[in-house]
Amino acid sequence: MIAYNKESKIFHLKNQSISYVFGILKNGQLGHFHFGPKVGDDYDQGLFRNSVARPLTACCFEEDQAFSLDNERLEYPTYGTTDFREPAFQLMRENGSRVTGFTYERHEIIKGKASLEGLPATYANVPDDCETLKITMFDSVIGCYIILSYTIFKDAPVITRSVRFINEGQEDVKILRAMSTSIDLFDSNFDWLQLSGAWARERHIKTRRLCEGIQSVGSVRGASSTNHNPFVVLKRPSCNEFRGEAYGFSLVYSGNFLAQAEVNQDGVSRVMLGIHPQNFTWHLESGSTFTTPEVVMVYTEQGLNHLSQVYHNLYRNNLTRGQWKEKPRPVLINNWEATYFDFNEEKILEIARASKKLGIDLFVLDDGWFGKRNDDTSSLGDWHSNTAKLPNGIGGLAAKIRDMGLGFGLWYEPEMINKDSELYRKHPDWIIGDPDRRLSHGRNQYVLDYSRPEVVDNIFDQMCQVLDGAPITYIKWDMNRNITEAFSRMLSSDKQGELFHRYILGVYDLYERLTSRYPEILFESCAAGGGRFDPGMLFYAPQGWISDDTDSVERLKIQYGTSMVYPISSMGSHVSAIPNHQVFRETSLKMRGDVAYFGTFGYELDVAKMSEEEMNEVTDQIRFFKENQKLIHKGDFYRLVSPFEDGGNTTAWMSVSKDGEEALVGYYQVLGDVNNGFKRLKLQGLLPEKRYRVNDEYTATGDTLMHFGILIKPSNLIMPTSDDRSGDFLSYTYKLKAE
C-alpha cells in the first residue's frame, strides 16, 4: 500500500480507490502532490509540482531563482522561508527565532498502526488492516525531530495523520503551533461544509463557497463545543449526497481545535486541522516529546452519503473500543426530564418497575443522587450517595433495580465542582482560574484543574468507591460548562499555555482508567447535550447524548447533521414527554419514536404516569426497535431528504443491512400541507433485483423502490380520526424485507 521511489523521491500511499502522493523537494522539505482518486506510479516530480520561475513575485532561495515555496504545494509547511500562508507548525528557540529548517532524514514503513500515547486514535483490528509511513524530519540547528505519521487503510478511502515533535537538542524550544494535518489541494473550486449550532441545536449543516483568504471554524472553549464540530468537508459545488468529489477532515480530539482552509493567490487551498493555536504553547524541553492528535481524512467521488458511510464504518470498527462495540445497546430510561432533582428512592423504583414492564433494559439515575444536591448550586465534587433522598445509598437502590431485572446507570459530572461542596472546602485551589481575578461560573459550577494528576486521582478514587460497591452497568459522563479565566495554579509560568491540552489529557486519562477497570460499564458522553460530541469521546464512550433538545422536530436536523460523520449507534436519542420541555411542542408518540429509532433509543419521561394506551404503544415501540436494532446500528445509513433544504418541511433517511436483505425507512413531515400533489420517496442501497415486502403491505423490486420510489400518503388525505389527529408532525416508517 505504501511505496517510495528513490529516483523521484516520491511517496505513494495507495489502495483500491485512493492515492496520496507527496515527495521530498530539492531543499529537503516535503511537497504535497496529490490526494484523490487512485493514480499510477510512473512519474517524476515535474508532473505534479507548480514549479515555474516567478522571481518578480516570489521570494526565492539564494542559490535557485526557480525555487520558491510560495509556488509549491506543501506537506507540513512552516512560515518564514518563502511561503507566506499560515503554517502547519511553528517553533521558537530560546533566542526568540521562529525560523526553522526541517529536512527529510529517513522514513520507515510498518504494517498496522501504533497507538498514540495518552490520546484517542483509530486502530487496526489486525495488522493487515492498514500500513503506516513514518517520516523523520530533522532541524540540525536546534537538534529537533518531527515525525510525520501517515496510515492508509486497506479497504477504505482513508488516510490518518499525526505528528510527533522530539527535542534531542541542547536548548528548550517552544511549540507555538502544531497542527495535525496540512494539505495543499490543487484548486479552490469547493464548497466548505461545517457542522455548527449552539446548545439545543447542535451540528446543523452549513455550507459556503471557498474563496481567497482564510475561512475557519474552531473552539477555544476547552471542549470541541456545540458551536462548531471538529469536522469539515470540502466538496465540489456539484457534489450531492450520491455523486461527486468530497474530502472529509475529522479531528480525533475533544479540546480546542481549529479547522481552516486558506486559498492563496494561485487558487491553491491549504486545509489544516489541529489544536487551536490560540492560548496554546508547549514547552518542549530538551529530551522531551509532544504528540498531536490524529486527523482522519476521507476522499470520495461518490458524494456525501458515501463519505459519511466511510466515517461510520471506520468509527464503529476502528475507533470505538470495548465490549459495547459489538453488543446490542440497552434500551434505557433516564429520569432527568421525569423528575429533575425532585426524586426519592420510592419514586425511582416506581419508574423502574413501570419501565421493566414495558421492556426497557436499563434505568439511568441522572443528576441529584450525590452529596446534598437538590438543585444546581451544590455538591459537584462530592461523589457519594445523597442519603436524604436515597436512604439505602446508591448500592441499595442499584441492587433493588438489578433484582427487577434491569441494568442500573448513574450520572456523573467528574470534571466539575461547586463552591458549596466538601471537595472545594478542602481544596479551593483545585479549580481553574486566576486567583488575582474575578471568576466566572457556569450553572454555579467551576472547572476542576484536570492538568493536575492529584485532582484526577481524587475523582477516580471517589468514583471507584461507588462503582465497587454497587452493580452499575452504565455511566453518563456530563460536562456542563466551558473553561474561562484559564490559569492553573500548579503549572509554572512557561507552561500555562499547555493548560487546555493537559486538561483534555487528564480527561482522557480518567476515561482510560475507568474503562479499563470497569470494562462491563457502558459509557455515554454528554456535555450539556452535544457540547463535546467528537471522535475523541467515541474512543472511550461508544455513545453520546447528542442534544438536550428532545423535541422530535428539532431532533430531525440534529440527527441528520450529526450523521454527516458519526455513526447512528453513537447518537443518544430518547422519546420524551409532551409538551416538550425545550420547545413546548406537542408531537405524537409515534413521531417521537420514529425519530428516536435512528439512534441508541431510550425514554426520558415518567412512564409510571402514562395511560394504558400509551404504555401499549411504548411496548410496541421497544419491541420494534429491538427487532431492528442490528439493522439500524450496523447497517448502512442513507440520508434521503434533507431538513436543511426546500424549507425543511420533510426529512427522510434509511438504514440498509450490510447484506441488503432488510431496510428501515423513516419519513417525517413537520407541517401538514393542503391538497398537494403525491410524493414519492426514492430509496437507496437496495439490491436492484431483489423483491422486497414493504410493511407487509405490498412487494416491489429494489430497482423499482430506488428509481420509482415509495408513494407517500399525503397528510391531507388522512381522516381526523382518533389515530390520526392532525396532518402536522406526521411520520411513517417502512420496513423492507427481501423475499
Residue ranges that bind ligand GLA, judged by CB under 6 A: 336, 366-367, 411, 478, 480, 526, 528-529, 545, 548
Name the minimum Å distance from CB 412 to ligand GLA.
10
Q: How far is CA 266 from CA 46, 74, 156, 500, 707, in A?
A: 18, 14, 31, 36, 42
Residue type, 716: N
Name the minimum Å distance from CB 592 to ligand GLA.
17
Grid cell locating 491: 503549572
- Is the CB of 157 or the CB of 529 nearer to ligand GLA? 529
- Is the CB of 156 or the CB of 541 nearer to ligand GLA? 541
Name the minimum Å distance from CB 360 to ligand GLA.
17
Strand 571-572 and strand 201-209: the pairing is: unpaired
Strand 362-365 and strand 332-334: the pairing is: parallel
* Residue ranges with strand state E in 382-504: 407-412, 416-418, 445-447, 474-477
- Is the CB of 313 or the CB of 480 nearer to ligand GLA? 480
Distance of alpha carbon 270 from alpha carbon 310, whole angstroms: 23
Cβ atoms within 10 Å, residue 238: 10
- The three-class DSSP label of residue 100 is coil
Residue 485's region, left for phi above 0, alpha for psi from -120 to 50, else beta, is left
Burial of 293 (C-beta count, 10 Å sphere; 0-12/13-18/19+): buried
- Is the CB of 217 or the CB of 479 nearer to ligand GLA? 479
Residue 548 is among the residues annotated as catalytic for this protein: yes
- Is the CB of 31 or the CB of 529 nearer to ligand GLA? 529
- Is the CB of 123 or the CB of 412 nearer to ligand GLA? 412
Strand partners, 665: 654, 734
Cα-based torsion angle of the residue sequence 425, 430, 253, 145 in order, rounded to the nearest 10 degrees: -170
Name the minimum Å distance from CB 547 to ligand GLA.
8
Burial of 128 (C-beta count, 10 Å sphere; 0-12/13-18/19+): exposed
Strand partners, 425: none
Name the minimum Å distance from CB 366 to ligand GLA.
5
What is the SS3 assignment for 430-464? Answer: HECCCCCCCCCCECCEEEECCCCHHHHHHHHHHHH
- The three-class DSSP label of residue 197 is strand
- Is the CB of 370 or the CB of 411 nearer to ligand GLA? 411
- The three-class DSSP label of residue 183 is strand
Name the minimum Å distance from CB 149 to ligand GLA.
35
Name the minimum Å distance from CB 701 to ligand GLA.
44
Distance of alpha carbon 532 from alpha carbon 518, whole angstroms: 22
Name the minimum Å distance from CB 94 to ligand GLA.
46
Closest-by-Cβ residue to ligand GLA is 367
Grid cell locating 233: 468537508
- Is the CB of 314 or the CB of 526 nearer to ligand GLA? 526
- The three-class DSSP label of residue 387 is coil
Q: Which residue in 478, 534, 551, 594 is the catalytic one?
A: 478
Name the minimum Å distance from CB 550 to ligand GLA.
9
- Is the CB of 75 or the CB of 548 nearer to ligand GLA? 548
Distance of alpha carbon 337 from alpha carbon 607, whole angstroms: 11
Name the minimum Å distance from CB 375 to ligand GLA.
10
Cβ atoms within 10 Å, residue 3: 12
* Residue ranges with strand state E in 286-426: 289-291, 294-300, 332-334, 362-365, 407-412, 416-418
- The three-class DSSP label of residue 554 is helix
- Is the CB of 169 or the CB of 572 nearer to ligand GLA? 572
Residue 42 is among the residues annotated as catalytic for this protein: no
Contact 543, 570 (CB under 8 A): yes
Cβ atoms within 10 Å, residue 682: 13
Which residues contact residue 217 at a Cβ distance below 8 angstroms, ignoring those fewer than 6 apart? 194, 196, 228, 229, 232, 258, 259
Contact 167, 102 (CB under 8 A): no
Which residues contact residue 355 at a Cβ distance below 8 angstroms, ignoring those fewer than 6 apart? 333, 363, 406, 603, 607
Distance of alpha carbon 219 from alpha carbon 228, whole angstroms: 7
- Is the CB of 336 or the CB of 540 nearer to ligand GLA? 336
Contact 134, 108 (CB under 8 A): yes
Q: Which residue in 70, 129, 548, 594 is the catalytic one?
A: 548
Name the minimum Å distance from CB 586 to ligand GLA.
21
Name the minimum Å distance from CB 478 to ligand GLA.
5
- Taking the CA atoms of 353, 358, 363 and 366 in sequence, report the sign of the dihedral they define: negative
- Is the CB of 363 or the CB of 411 nearer to ligand GLA? 411
Cα within 13 Å of Cα(560), Cβ side? 26
Query: Which of the residues are catalytic?
Result: 478, 548
